[in-house]
Amino acid sequence: MKIAIIGQGYVGLTISAFASEFYEVVGFDTNQNLVDNLNRGISHIEGVQSSIIEKWIKSGRYKATTNGRDIADVDIVIVAVPTPLTSNRQPDLSFLQSACKTVGENVTREVLIINESTSFPGTLRSYIKPMIENFSSSPAEHLYAISPERVDPGRSDFNQKNTPRLYAGLSKEASERTREFYSKFCDNLIEVSSPEVAEAAKLFENTFRQVNIALVNEFAQIAHSLGISVYETLDAANTKPYGFMKFTPSAGVGGHCIPVDPTYLAAVAEEHGAPATFIRRANEVNLEMSEYIVRRVAEDNGGSLKGKNILVVGVAYKPNVADVRETAAELVIEHLRSQGAVVSWHDDVVGNWKGESSSPLQGADIAVVVTKHDSVDEEKILASAPYVFDTTGKVKGVNGL
């Protein structure tokens, strides 16, 4: 069987690496540079080793392409393209639309199309299917299914094989064929009654995290005002063996999922006249954390940050990945600069970001730790500035959340 995977990013390339063991895979992406590198056996995703890509290329099981005609003869199409927010924080389905165009124009025989991109309930039925049909000039009646991706980049204990996967087709045949496809490399497949349930479950999973992160971020502020340790309090609460799940405070939420997916759920809720109060407020609380942190840093440093050399340590959105999408570091830096601080950042995992390079971990007046990669030495952070503010709970003996 031949599979086309549209989008070769975190999700698409991860699936490509697993699927190539059992199927012939064509990885379609619009980014020529990325495709060239993949065809040279160079992976850009932490969880996918270059040696794996190289192996599949050599064996003829995998190739990357920007040419839509290369997906004309496949049996299954997987869609894994970005679903971000627009500048006014509304669902942006433009990448999905362009993926539907590629599929509609090039796939003329009947195939199974599975969407893995995260979007609101109804996307498969009311957006993807009609869009592909609209771009298609062939009478082929495709099968459609959804199987939302749950990959957590940088995580080694849960992967494609042992993370349970939800799925649902628009027809019984689509569901059956979807199960057959994933069962080769996923141990636990869970069918739900409709694509809308699968789409909503994915959004709710990330909304659950967003709301609980906001709650703990608010609690960190309460704990500080009460003069007690948020971490000790959370550890104490976590001794309860049921009814409690520990989340830890941070400078905010980042990545492609938690700051974005809940807004997809809120948008569809409001469109249907249902309230999304928690979701909206949680988003605000998380966004406000950067301002709160900068206020605390200023308070500890005589009230003004003007002219101070501030080093932000860690700009990736989470430890041990190079991903900077929606990173909380961006807002922290913005607020520090608006206070007149001279800001540089250190993050050797990210290297280059927004036209700036990682600075040495030394010589600052103030260091603000936003993300602590395992490779960054705690002693070096402590020696980098006379005042260190830690938002991660990983640097001991300094001020922080």
Ligand X SMILES: NC(=O)c1ccc[n+]([C@@H]2O[C@H](COP(=O)([O-])OP(=O)(O)OC[C@H]3O[C@@H](n4cnc5c(N)ncnc54)[C@H](O)[C@@H]3O)[C@@H](O)[C@H]2O)c1
Q: Smallest gap, in angstroms, from Cβ of residue 51 to ligand X?
A: 20
Candidates 55-63, 78-86, 354-362, 380-388: pick the segment binding ligand X (CB under 6 A).
Answer: 78-86
Report 171-200 residues binding ligand X (CB under 6 A).
none
Q: Smallest gap, in angstroms, from Cβ of residue 255 to ligand X?
A: 6
Q: How many CB atoms lie within 10 A of CB 289?
A: 25
82 binds ligand X (CB under 6 A): yes
31 binds ligand X (CB under 6 A): yes
DSSP conformation letters of 267-298: HHHHHTT---HHHHHHHHHHHHHHHHHHHHHH
151 binds ligand X (CB under 6 A): yes
What burial class does residue 244 get, using C-beta atoms within 10 Å of its C-beta: 0-12 exposed, 13-18 middle, 19+ buried? exposed
6 binds ligand X (CB under 6 A): yes
12 binds ligand X (CB under 6 A): yes
Q: Which residue has the tokens 């099981």?
A: 61
What burial class does residue 86 get, using C-beta atoms within 10 Å of its C-beta: 0-12 exposed, 13-18 middle, 19+ buried? exposed
Candidates 47-55, 96-104, 175-183, 293-301: pick the segment binding ligand X (CB under 6 A).
Answer: 96-104
Strands (E) in 33-173, as ranges, are 62-65, 76-79, 112-115, 143-146, 165-169
Q: How many CB atoms lie within 10 A of CB 50?
A: 15
29 binds ligand X (CB under 6 A): yes
259 binds ligand X (CB under 6 A): no
Cα(75)–Cα(57) distance, rounded to whole angstroms? 20
Candidates 79-87, 128-136, 235-243, 291-299: pick the segment binding ligand X (CB under 6 A).
Answer: 79-87
Interacting residues of 285 by C-beta distance below 8 A, sequence separation 6+ = 214, 217, 218
Q: Is 257 among the catalytic positions?
A: yes
> Of 153 and 400, which has the nearer Cβ to ligand X?
153
Which one among 21, 54, 73, 95 touches ligand X, defined by CB under 6 A? 95
11 binds ligand X (CB under 6 A): yes
81 binds ligand X (CB under 6 A): yes
Q: Smallest gap, in angstroms, from Cβ of residue 55 to ligand X?
A: 21
Q: Smallest gap, in angstroms, from Cβ of residue 276 to ligand X?
A: 18
Beta strand 352-353 pairing with 356-357: antiparallel
The 8-class DSSP code of residue 343 comes to E
149 binds ligand X (CB under 6 A): yes
Count of residues touching ligand X (by CB under 6 A): 29
113 binds ligand X (CB under 6 A): no
Beta strand 189-191 pairing with 387-390: unpaired
314 binds ligand X (CB under 6 A): no
99 binds ligand X (CB under 6 A): yes
118 binds ligand X (CB under 6 A): yes
Find the helix packing angle between 277-300 and 328-338, rounded to 10°.
50
Q: Which string of x and - marks every residue 32-51 that binds ligand X (by CB under 6 A)? A: --x-----------------
Element (H, E) at 204: helix 195-226
312 binds ligand X (CB under 6 A): no
136 binds ligand X (CB under 6 A): no
What burial class does residue 306 get, using C-beta atoms within 10 Å of its C-beta: 0-12 exposed, 13-18 middle, 19+ buried? exposed
Which entry of 78, 111, 257, 297 is annotated as an active-site residue? 257
10 binds ligand X (CB under 6 A): yes
Which one among 28, 181, 182, 185 touches ligand X, defined by CB under 6 A? 28
- The torsion angles phi and psi of 140, rounded to 5 degrees, stand at -60, 130
**Residue pair 339/393 in contact by the 8 Å Cβ criterion:** no
Annotated active-site positions, please? 257
Residues near ligand X (CB under 6 A) are 6-12, 28-31, 34, 80-83, 95, 98-99, 102, 116-118, 149-151, 153, 256-257
